[in-house]
Structure 1
Amino acid sequence: MALPVSSWNAVHTGPNHASRQCSSCLQSPPALDACWAATSYAWPWTQLVAQFKFQNDSAWARALALLMQSAPGVEDVLEQVDVILPMPLSAQRLAERGFNQALLLAKALNPHKTQALTLLKLRHTARQSSLKRSERLLNLAGALAVSPLRAASLRGQHVLLVDDVMTSGVSLNTAAQVLKQAGVQSVKALVFARTEV
């Protein structure tokens, strides 16, 4: 089931694939061109995502990716994009968790288009979910970057960002800004679940 992704400054894509924008998006257009979510971040998905991320149960990646892929319109997007980029983790968070859940999801969606080391997290930041919306932008300022070794190959490309959960949309939109500054033509996103607004 695809849900509208109405959130902070994000393009809304509903079940009928028609894009709509809220008034704040019209006043200040987001860098993220569109976003799809397979489901709402509610029971039983909250427990499943927690098990996947925090209890080292990476075997869930394939099943979650299958649900993501089945959201209306997503198969076409996966075919159309040139590159799939997982939202990166800081070195500290990666060491704590042992794996990047977004990378596992991206590889399960399409291993051939997935690039693991193109979008980088330069420094460790507080968890976005622990912050107020106004603090999330400051938390990510200067934290994301495109690898200098991969920047040239991204110019003019259509990119899909992948993550497990979308809350405010700040992380995805910040990543989209960084990618567009590097010359990416379009940036869309696909998440397993999104919080209700």
Structure 2
Amino acid sequence: MRCQPNSQPQVYNWLKNKQTCLLCDESTDGGNAICTSCEAELPWLGEHCQVCALPLPSHGLTCGACLRKPPSFTRVEAPWRYAFPVDSLITRFKHQAKWPMGRLLGELLSQHLQHAFDDGLSRPDWLLPVPLAEQRQRQRGFNQAALLTQWIAEPLQLPWQAHGLQRRIDTPAQQQLDAATRKRNLRRAFALSPAVPIDGLHLALVDDVLTTGATAESLARLLKKAGAARVDVYCLARTPKPGD
């Protein structure tokens, strides 16, 4: 399988019987490209806010921010905290085009979601990747959220719409900004594709990391105003509060 968009592509055969762990290079004992020991040591999210998935010390709590002002999305599902080695894998996938890293995380996210569905989480009608501005996507060569959406849609047998959401304004990179600046950045940044019917549907946004939730809130609010019945967020990792 060709996994890199360059002249000398790094190749990882996802269908071979004996996988090699992408973290420690040992042989794996399952269908994913990660061994049992490395998978167990990933920074699993643990106890978290029932709405935004912010890491919390106890089970079944809702964080203060969601209590004070409930977000437009209903629930965030994320397997991990944004910590080593997941943060490194996401960075290498997103900024260095190491597609096997993203594919591994996408496979594990799909398994996490399947467990959540089995436990009663409502299945969405559509998956929608968080969009990139055209210039940024041309520079990067791909939209990591769209790839993740494809990789979780196939095993979960969920429909997805690659261009259901559009980014009209190329806002500055969000990573180093505080919550208030992120919100100002995102005003009028997004638009809906007129070809995508969403009235009365349950939708799920897909992205790599949820930090302040400003992007998810902006998109969920847009979708709810257009008639969506419910909006969830599926992502790889959730950042903790600064200092936690």
Structural mapping, 1:89-128, within 5 Å: 89-111=132-154, 113-128=159-174
Inter-partner Cα distance in structure 1 for 2:61 and 2:192: 29
In the TM superposition, residue 162 of structure 1 has moved relative to its aligned partner by: 0.6
Cα displacement string for residues 122-180 of structure 1 (whole angstroms, at most 9, x for unaligned residues): 11011111211110100000001111222xx1110101111111111111111100110
What amino acid sits opposite 1:142 in the alignment? Answer: R
1:92-144: CA deviations, max 9, x gaps? Answer: 11011100001001101114511111111111011111211110100000001
1:25-174 superposed matches below 5 A? 25-71=66-112, 73-76=115-118, 80-111=123-154, 113-150=159-196, 153-174=197-218
Match for residue 177 of structure 1 among 221, 224, 227: 221
Judged with a 3 Å threshold, the aligned counterparts in structure 2 of structure 1 residues 28 and 78 are, in CA distance, closer, same or farther, namely closer
Report the number of matched residues.
Answer: 191
Tell me the SS of whatever aligns to 1:161: strand
**Residue range with higher mean Cα deviation, 69-78 or 37-46:** 69-78
| Unaligned 5+ runs, structure 2 | 1-43
- Could you say which structure has the higher strand fraction? 1
Cα–Cα, structure 1 residues 128 and 184, in superposed 2: closer, same or farther, change >3 Å?
Answer: same
Q: Given the superposition, is the C-alpha separation of residues 62 and 79 from structure 1 closer, same or farther in structure 2, using an over 3 Å criterion?
A: farther
Q: Are 1:35 and 1:188, in contact at CA under 8 Å, matched by a contact in 2?
A: yes
If you compute each CA radius of gyration, which structure gives the higher value, 1 or 2? 2
TM-score (norm 2): 0.71
Higher helix residue share: 1
Matching residue's letter, 2:173: R
In 2, Cα distance between equivalents of 1:80 and 1:58? 27
Kept after mapping to 2: 8 A contact 1:12/1:20 = no
By how many angstroms is 1:188 displaced?
0.4
Task: Please state how far the C-alpha of 1:60 moved relative to its aligned partner.
Answer: 2.8
Gaps (5+ residues) in structure 1? none
Identity within the alignment, %: 34
TM-score by length of 1: 0.87
Q: How far off its partner does 1:21 sit?
A: 2.3
Deviation at 1:6, TM superposition (A): 4.4
User: In 1, are the aligned partners of 2:54 and 2:63 still within 8 Å (CA)?
Assistant: no
